[in-house]
Structure 1
């Protein structure tokens, strides 16, 4: 039950975003890294991305653009997707799964033929000339979200709006949306706090408190307090990781995941959970001391094929919060991106802070005036 929290309330930062990736701890995953992709595109005379060859659009010849993106990589599926990432050009995305309650619903499978993580990389590798709004329309109108397990994707092009203390809004795409008109937009207003977990965004953030998941309610409150407390950047980062460590889960952890799914929405941090079989698998992985997969330019040969008896994907070992991420973007477009690993690839716990990797860079085109996307 992943969680992503965002705020535009901090005076020194245009955006603060934090995230917990909850997953099977042994699921093979690389550490964060810069990676590149070549994108073929062509633009019309007005500079917008266009995929038609109609001469009436005055389309210019295709060009190849190199995208530089920062993210970890899921090594479980051949798509090499991810749950959170950002490009040097400011394309930013975070994904959470949708918690399916009807596992027999063919229209909304628990695990689709296509990777959810591919939705993040679809935006990270989009034509830089494509606006967030154009991406939303493309994904929802051209079947871009079909064949994927339930998800919500927060995505947008991080830009400072000219002449003001605002940033371009972020869209929340879901394959529960039928058309672009149903897509919520967030972060366009200063002083706001937002939360997203494993349900439709509006169900979690509406005024009806009965629909607000406890972990979202707690996360938004704690994030507001952290912003109000002030302090140095180092102190802020420490407080943000403390939020991600908030554990309201019952003390009994030797229990099958299926039995505790209703409880996962109560706790921001999910401790390592699993029944006897999963506990045994974890012990075996720790004892084997398997070679760590760094994931640097992983080849197809490194793909771990899901067991045919596991239709929902990788389900070995214990389940819990596997990675934590903090991202800060200041008013000059300087980004600080910190990912914290809590476990190594053999399932051994990593002391807090020792699994941190930090990246600092300036977003290219931060001051460039973009059209607002909603």
Structure 2
């Protein structure tokens, strides 16, 4: 039951994105790092469970951005929306991040929805677009689209972040679901409060990030009271943060290569040796589709009005399923979006 919160309400930032990835704790997942495909340099963590090695959230040097939430499929007779799709949902994120630079968001929407792009994939919503100032005199951001394989025609796709002062929420149902999930309502309300507090107090980015993490840490999940996992999962829509639930099971842990990602580097033609040692993904290669479930990763993306990006991802569990103290599993990246103001301003990524 992941959650994405997006706001244009902070005057110093064109966009702020918050994301909780709720998953089985031992689902094999890399740490965030730079990697390349089709000439695009992408910053993201990667899901190592599926062959596509996709991601749930990523951004490129040129400002292509995407974040995905799943629908929880339960209808075994719905061939169009399989419970276990033949293709990875995470591949939908990569499809946009690796698309041709000249392809607009709208063109991508039409290509994906009118062709075979969403066939054989479990239900999902994909928020995507290019993080860039509009070329008109408005000074606003280019809009982001929400694509879903439950959408109608491409003309029915919602568009976000076209105005200042807005806050949006997306979880494991359609964006235009008339019934607002409690976690979305709580998250949006708290995010507004945090932005107002930070702006009024004149707090800087470090304090802002910590307060945004406090939003992602909101736990209003009812007690399980003996319910089994399948019965209890309905309650997850009530809480922004999901504490560990379920029961641990033995895991088979294959032996990875020296840095845990050799197979992935070879598959994509990029060398992990190009990364600093501390930026290389962990060797998280367990078969994590059972056992303890909860919020596994928390990601915050800040984009200021000069096109500077701050990307912070917090790991809450190590590869063996042990909890990590808040902040000890953080990785932070800073970089400049190339072409933010219509001209190339690219530079090497900065890390702190």
**Structures share a fold, TM > 0.5?**
yes
1:27 aligns with 2:27: yes
| Alignment of 1:364 onto 2:332 | no
In the alignment, structure 2 segments of 5+ residues that lack a partner are 268-282, 344-352
* Distance across 2 between alignment mates of 1:76 and 1:20: 18
1:243 to 180, 193, 215: 215
Q: Deviations over 1:307-327 (max 9, x none)?
A: xxxxxxx52221110000000
Name the CA shift for 1:257/1:25 in 2 (closer, same or farther; >3 Å). same
- The offset of 1:259, in angstroms, is 1.4
CA distance in 2, matches of 1:243, 1:318: 23
**One of 44, 51, 54 as aligned partner of 1:78:** 51
Paired position in structure 2 for 1:11: 11
Query: How far did residue 116 of structure 1 move?
Result: 0.2
Q: How do 1:16-55 and structure 2 match up within 5 A?
A: 16-38=16-38
Residue 139 of structure 1 is aligned with which of 103, 112, 119? 112
Note if contact 2:310-2:335 (Cα within 8 Å) is conserved in structure 1. Answer: yes
Unaligned runs of 5+ in 1: 39-65, 307-313, 370-374
1:349 aligned to 323, 333, 336, which one?
323
Structure 2 residue 231 is the aligned partner of structure 1 residue 263: no
Q: Name the counterpart of 2:185.
A: 217
Tell me whether 1:328 sits opposite 2:302 in the alignment. Answer: yes
* Distance verdict in 2 for CA 1:272–1:84, change over 3 Å: same
User: TM-score, normalised on structure 1?
Assistant: 0.81
Q: Secondary structure at the match of 2:14?
A: strand
Instruction: State the secondary structure of the residue aligned to 1:201.
Output: coil
- Asked if the contact 2:80–2:119 (Cα under 8 Å) also holds between the matched residues in 1, the reply is no
Q: How does 1:88-237 map to 2 (within 5 A)?
A: 88-162=61-135, 163-203=137-177, 206=178, 211-230=179-198, 231-237=203-209
Aligned residues: 321
Contact map agreement 1:77 1:304 (CA 8 A) in 2? no
Cα 1:176–1:28 change in 2 (3 A) is: same
User: Could you tell me whether the CA contact under 8 Å between 1:253 and 1:272 is conserved in 2?
Assistant: no
- The DSSP-based 3-state class of the residue aligned with 1:215 is helix
Query: What displacement does 1:329 show?
Result: 0.1
1:85 match: secondary structure: strand
CA-to-aligned-CA distance 1:200-241 (integer Å, 9 cap, x gap): 1001xx5xxxx0100000011011111111221111101110
Q: CA deviation at 1:103?
A: 3.7
- Distance in 1, matches of 2:56 and 2:227, equals 26
* 3-state SS of paired residue (2:176): helix
Distance 1:237 1:69 in 2: 22
- CA gap 1:305/1:337 in 2 versus in 1, 3 angstroms: closer
- Which residue pairs with 1:60 in the alignment? none
Q: CA deviation at 1:143?
A: 1.3
Larger Rg: 1
Give matches, 1:302-317, under 5 Å.
Answer: 314-317=288-291
Quickly say closer, same or farther: Cα 1:355–1:303, change in 2 above 3 A.
closer
- Where do 4+ consecutive residues of structure 1 move more than 6 Å? 288-293, 302-306
Q: Is the 8 A contact 1:256 1:273 kept in 2?
A: no
Note the aligned Cα RMSD (angstroms): 2.4
SS at match of 1:74: coil
More divergent stretch after superposition (189-198 vs 95-104): 95-104
